[in-house]
A = this chain, B = another copy of it.
Amino acid sequence: MRTDTLKILIATDIHLGYLEKDAIRGNDTYVTFDEILKHAKQNDVDFILLGGDLFHDNKPSRKSLHNCIELLRKYCMGDKPITFEILSDQAVNFSTSKFPWVNYQDENLNISIPVFSVHGNHDDPTGADGLCALDVLSCAGLVNHFGRSRSVEKVEVSPVLLQKGSTRIAMYGIGSIPDERLYRMFLNNQVTMLRPREDESSWFNLLVVHQNRSKHGATNYIPEQFLDDFLDLVVWGHEHECRIDPERNEQRLFYITQPGSSVVTSLSPGEAVKKHIGLLRVKGRKMNLEKIPLQTVRQFFIQDVVLRDHLNLFNPDHPKVTQKIEAFCQEKVEEMLDEAERDRLGNPQMPEKPLIRLRVDYTGGFEAFNVMRFNQKFVDRLANPKDVVHFVRHRECKDAKDEENINFDELLSRASAEVMQLRVEDLVKQYFATAEKNMQLSLLTEQGMGKAVQEFVDKEERDAIEELINYQLEKTQHHLKERRVEAVEEKIDEEVKRERERERDYEMQCIVGTVYPCSRFLSYTSQSAQTIVVSLILEII
């Protein structure tokens, strides 16, 4: 029976607004989101399931929000009847919403395709309001945001229970949680997936998560085997490589589909895999996942050149070797441009200029040529003229055998991710180490400030620093009050020193400084805070 089949469009990591100011690539994310919604409509799906990072920025720009709302209203509202029902308690499923029911059941909205989404790490809830960008859409009735857990110690997932004809799906969602934290919760048995009371075995169990799947450090990912084995299918968000064909986890006996992002946000090999979304059909406990290739995604080609592999061509000691290398590299880029053009012939919806990346390992005494002049040659023919060539050098001290298996990705991810992500906190530390005496922090710890500045920079959480200051100030005042310390500078200093010794090991626990008069203190501290941010901005640009 046709009516027993639930059709679900699956996509993730759409990153609306990514590079929206770029003259060439600015509209890519919007164009592809349009395509995705069009596929949903054309395929007459029951609903859309998104795996997080619908938005690239935690605080999407006005344009980004506007475009998103426009597309959702255009494609997901209309007269198509919804033929599945929700059996679970919606007040639990959508507990963070001001309108805690699925949008298609709201009598004031005419929804044709409901969208369900967990949040990703890019668009996660932050700040005092505890809201995320999806909540704005959810409040407007355009998205059903689920899978939000408010506790930092345990996660209890109540599935959305769906039924269409005789098919029943228990849909579990876990919105992005810092990997280390979720890892720890799994280890401590603090992650519980609640099962439907009635007829447990009749449900198709679907989980959507947004976490690291590949191992970044010991606990900085979620091992597949952590997940419950009653699951039938896991939709894995966050990872940008398209591995949409369901892969069976042999230990747990469930399948994992990793749709991958619908836009290239880093010029690494994973992103060069052809992008797809999925059309999942579920009937009873059987499923089928049809891959839909995305037509509007900008092409991306990447090649690696290891100069030492071409010692027959390049002699590092030859005076003109650098010119020869440059010519060789130019040829490689031309090859990729040709391939892109051929490929594009069959796909008129593709943007005209591809992304091209040539990674050149020049280990072994070679010199890099002038990248800027090289890039200039392709300025009108590709979408990333500023960073076509990327030189990497392998550590020379290692033995030759190891070097043959260069792991470019590792090299690169170290070069970009780590540098970019650790930088903010490092800079804060460094700043204080070298700051003038009168700029040094007294009441706040560098660690606490480092975190606040990171929130400030990464999530544009403009109040993170002020909140930290207020929190620490209140805490200090409370402490002094409890110990009935007189409001005399010397006494406070003394008390605070004692406290500092006692609590030295606790994060954000060291209390030093003058509390009265508050206003002087506050203006002094926030000036320091601003100075840090300012120094950071200067370092970053």
Query: Are the C-beta atoms of B139 and A70 separated by less than 8 Å?
Result: yes
Taken residue by residue from 58 to 89, chain A's Cβ proximity to chain B (1 for < 8 Å, 0 otherwise) reads as 01011101100110010001110000000000
What are 17 contact pairs spanning A and B, CB under 8 A? A59-B62, A62-B127, A66-B129, A66-B131, A66-B135, A70-B98, A70-B139, A73-B140, A73-B141, A78-B108, A108-B109, A108-B110, A108-B111, A140-B142, A372-B517, A526-B541, A534-B538
**CB within 8 A of A129: which of B62, B129, B140, B141?**
B62
A438 at the interface (CB under 8 A from B): no
Query: Are the C-beta atoms of B527 and A531 separated by less than 8 Å?
Result: no
Known: A108-B77, A463-B21. A133 touches B70 (CB 8 A): no
Taken residue by residue from 84 to 105, chain A's Cβ proximity to chain B (1 for < 8 Å, 0 otherwise) reads as 0000000000000011000000
Chain B residue with minimal CB distance to A537? B530
- When chains A and B are docked, how far (Å) is the Cα of A180 from the Cα of B78? 45
Copies of this protein chain in the complex:
2
Query: Are the C-beta atoms of A62 and B133 separated by less than 8 Å?
Result: yes
A289 at the interface (CB under 8 A from B): no
**CB within 8 A of A527: which of B79, B98, B534, B541?**
B541
- When chains A and B are docked, how far (Å) is the Cα of A523 from the Cα of B386? 13
Residues facing B in A142-174 (CB within 8 A) are: 142
Contact residues in B for A110 (Cβ distance below 8 Å): 107-110
- When chains A and B are docked, how far (Å) is the Cα of A527 from the Cα of B538? 7
- When chains A and B are docked, how far (Å) is the Cα of A523 from the Cα of B61? 24
Taken residue by residue from 315 to 358, chain A's Cβ proximity to chain B (1 for < 8 Å, 0 otherwise) reads as 00000000000000000000000000000000000000000000
Contact residues in B for A530 (Cβ distance below 8 Å): 537-538, 541
Query: Are the C-beta atoms of A65 and B136 separated by less than 8 Å?
Result: yes
Chain B residue with minimal CB distance to A112? B108
Chain B residue with minimal CB distance to A72? B140
Contact residues in B for A78 (Cβ distance below 8 Å): 108
Contact residues in B for A132 (Cβ distance below 8 Å): 62
- When chains A and B are docked, how far (Å) is the Cα of A466 from the Cα of B111? 40
Q: Which residue numbers of A lie inside 8 Å of B, CB to CB?
A: 21, 59, 61-63, 65-66, 69-70, 73, 77-79, 98-99, 107-111, 127, 129, 131-133, 135-136, 139-142, 372, 386, 463, 466, 517, 519, 523, 526-527, 530-531, 534, 537-538, 541
Contact residues in B for A386 (Cβ distance below 8 Å): 519
- When chains A and B are docked, how far (Å) is the Cα of A59 from the Cα of B136? 14
Chain B residue with minimal CB distance to A98? B70
**CB within 8 A of A109: which of B63, B109, B131?**
B109
Contact residues in B for A59 (Cβ distance below 8 Å): 62
**CB within 8 A of A136: which of B62, B79, B135, B141?**
B62
Chain B residue with minimal CB distance to A141? B73
- Not counting A65-B136, A534-B537, a sample of 7 additional A-B residue pairs whose C-beta atoms are within 8 angstroms of each other reads A21-B463, A62-B127, A62-B131, A63-B131, A66-B139, A530-B537, A534-B538
Whole-angstrom distance between the Cβ of A489 and the nearest chain B Cβ: 16
- When chains A and B are docked, how far (Å) is the Cα of A132 from the Cα of B62? 8
- When chains A and B are docked, how far (Å) is the Cα of A143 from the Cα of B516? 48
- When chains A and B are docked, how far (Å) is the Cα of A69 from the Cα of B537? 34
Contact residues in B for A140 (Cβ distance below 8 Å): 69, 73, 140, 142
Query: Are the C-beta atoms of B73 and A99 separated by less than 8 Å?
Result: yes
- When chains A and B are docked, how far (Å) is the Cα of A132 from the Cα of B530? 28
Whole-angstrom distance between the Cβ of A536 and the nearest chain B Cβ: 10
Query: Are the C-beta atoms of A63 and B519 separated by less than 8 Å?
Result: no
Chain B residue with minimal CB distance to A64? B129
Whole-angstrom distance between the Cβ of A506 and the nearest chain B Cβ: 26
- When chains A and B are docked, how far (Å) is the Cα of A141 from the Cα of B62? 16
- When chains A and B are docked, how far (Å) is the Cα of A59 from the Cα of B140? 18
Chain B residue with minimal CB distance to A142? B140
- When chains A and B are docked, how far (Å) is the Cα of A538 from the Cα of B535? 11
**CB within 8 A of A69: which of B139, B517, B526, B531?**
B139
Interface centre among A66, A107, A537 (most CB of B within 10 A): A66
- When chains A and B are docked, how far (Å) is the Cα of A98 from the Cα of B77? 15
Query: Are the C-beta atoms of A523 and B538 separated by less than 8 Å?
Result: no
Whole-angstrom distance between the Cβ of A462 and the nearest chain B Cβ: 9
Contact residues in B for A77 (Cβ distance below 8 Å): 108-109
Contact residues in B for A466 (Cβ distance below 8 Å): 21
- When chains A and B are docked, how far (Å) is the Cα of A70 from the Cα of B136? 9
Contact residues in B for A127 (Cβ distance below 8 Å): 62-63
Chain B residue with minimal CB distance to A76? B108
Contact residues in B for A99 (Cβ distance below 8 Å): 70, 73
